Amino acid sequence: MSALRVAAEDYLTIRRALGYKLNRQGLALLSFVSYAEEARASTVTSELALAWAMLPSNAMPQYWRQRLSVVRGFARHMQTLDPSTEVPPTDLLPPLPPKRAVPYLYSEAEIQRLMRATETIAQPLRAATYNTLIGLLAVSGLRVGEAIALDRDDLDPGAGLLVVRAGKNGKPREVPLHPSTVVALGDYARQRDELHPSPRGPSFFISTAGTRLDHGTVWKEFTRLRRHAGVHAPPGSRPPRLHDLRHVFVFRTLLNWYRAGADVETRLPQLSTYLGHVDPASTYWYFHAAPELLALAAQRLERHEGSHS
């Protein structure tokens, strides 16, 4: 048995005696020791730790970081016994992608101001298109790209459904609509057909040229409307986006469920399907993005635990 292995097992014994289980971490550390033994290394070096941590080469960067942190903890311990031990620096691996930005949660008044700002658009068709697009995003939770990709046949007014065919996961889904939303979409469709009876494609929302809306053009127009409506984020924060209307829809849905005493845990998978989330974790993320939801969830848990105590 090598001296490095003896030191690793002693380190794990000490840590476990302090209450740390170190099941996966212990196996990982012994795996590193085996790697070091094969390389005939008698101590920890940054080069050796990095080479082992980045196995397999196609793993996620977060996985590499977890492996390297295991060696780093052991190396700190070893350095007190063997000054030649190198503690791998924290910047050995490339930085992780930035965390999801906290969404801007529009108030109802701000959404109304955004929709009224479309009255400043000179062309009637363009004004109607952006007014209806903003309204639909606010009440349906659709992604901007999904709304732009809608075709005329994707709206079923009788059933009160939208068929989303350009979802993020590539799978179509049906989105139920409130009757007032169906009416608003019908009003837009009639106005659209009167103002531009010969469109150049099947798209539901059209430009003044009769073509499908361009994402970049929509972004620029929305930025102008937002500024006109006086909707601004706090200093140092990212400017509000059109996509944030989707976040507002999810936040309000969850908030209403909690306030109504609904079984949120049971309904969350349904909401994930409605939103077109492949991973339910994408829906759970909203609890971290909105502190008010976390507070309500904590209150629900406290009441639940209190009733069983």
Compute φ and ψ for 118, nearest 5 degrees.
-65, -15
Contact 145, 215 (CB under 8 A): yes
Q: Are residues 146 and 191 in the same domain?
A: yes
CA distances from 197 to 165, 204, 219, 240 (A): 25, 13, 26, 34
pLDDT tens, per residue, the chain with 309 residues: 899 999 999 999 998 888 788 888 999 999 999 999 999 999 999 999 999 999 988 888 888 999 999 999 999 999 999 999 999 998 888 776 656 667 888 999 999 999 999 999 999 999 999 999 999 999 999 999 999 999 999 999 999 999 998 776 667 899 999 999 999 999 999 999 999 999 999 999 999 999 999 999 999 999 999 999 999 988 878 899 999 999 889 888 888 887 888 887 788 788 888 888 766 666 666 655 555 655 655 554 455 444 444
Q: Are residues 10 and 50 in the same domain?
A: yes
Looking at the DSSP bridge assignments, the partners of residue 163 are: 174
Among residues 31, 50, 79, the one where a domain terminates is 79
- Per-residue confidence (pLDDT) for residue 308, from 0 to 100: 44
How far apart CA 237 and CA 79 sit, in angstroms, is: 42
- The residue with tokens 């409506």 is 229
Among residues 46, 79, 112, the one where a domain terminates is 79
Q: How many C-alpha atoms does 200 have within 13 Å on its Cβ side?
A: 8
Q: Are residues 143 and 284 in the same domain?
A: yes
Overall number of domains in the chain: 2
Q: Are residues 207 and 302 in the same domain?
A: yes
User: End-to-end CA distance of the chain, in Å?
Assistant: 52
Q: Which residues form the catalytic set? A: 143, 168, 243, 246, 277, 286
Domain of residue 34, residue span: 3-79
Instruction: Give the helix/strand (H/E) hosting 285.
Output: helix 281-289
- The residue with tokens 């909401």 is 271
Residue 95 lies inside a defined structural domain of this protein: no
Select from 39, 42, 65 the least CA-distant residue to 53. Answer: 65
Q: Are residues 116 and 263 in the same domain?
A: yes
- Per-residue confidence (pLDDT) for residue 284, from 0 to 100: 62
CA Rg value for the chain: 27
How far apart CA 226 and CA 220 sit, in angstroms, is: 10
Task: Return the ∠ at Cα 97 (arms to 95 and 47), rounded to 5°.
Answer: 25
How far apart CA 39 and CA 14 sit, in angstroms, is: 26
Whether residue 202 has a cis bond before it, omega within 30° of 0: no
Q: Are residues 45 and 115 in the same domain?
A: no
Structure tokens at 241: 């986006």
Q: Are residues 56 and 131 in the same domain?
A: no
Q: Are residues 275 and 210 in the same domain?
A: yes
Q: Are residues 133 and 43 in the same domain?
A: no
How far apart CA 266 and CA 87 sit, in angstroms, is: 47
Among residues 47, 79, 111, the one where a domain terminates is 79
β-strand 161-164 against 155-156: which pairing, if any?
A: antiparallel
Contact 284, 97 (CB under 8 A): no
- Per-residue confidence (pLDDT) for residue 309, from 0 to 100: 43
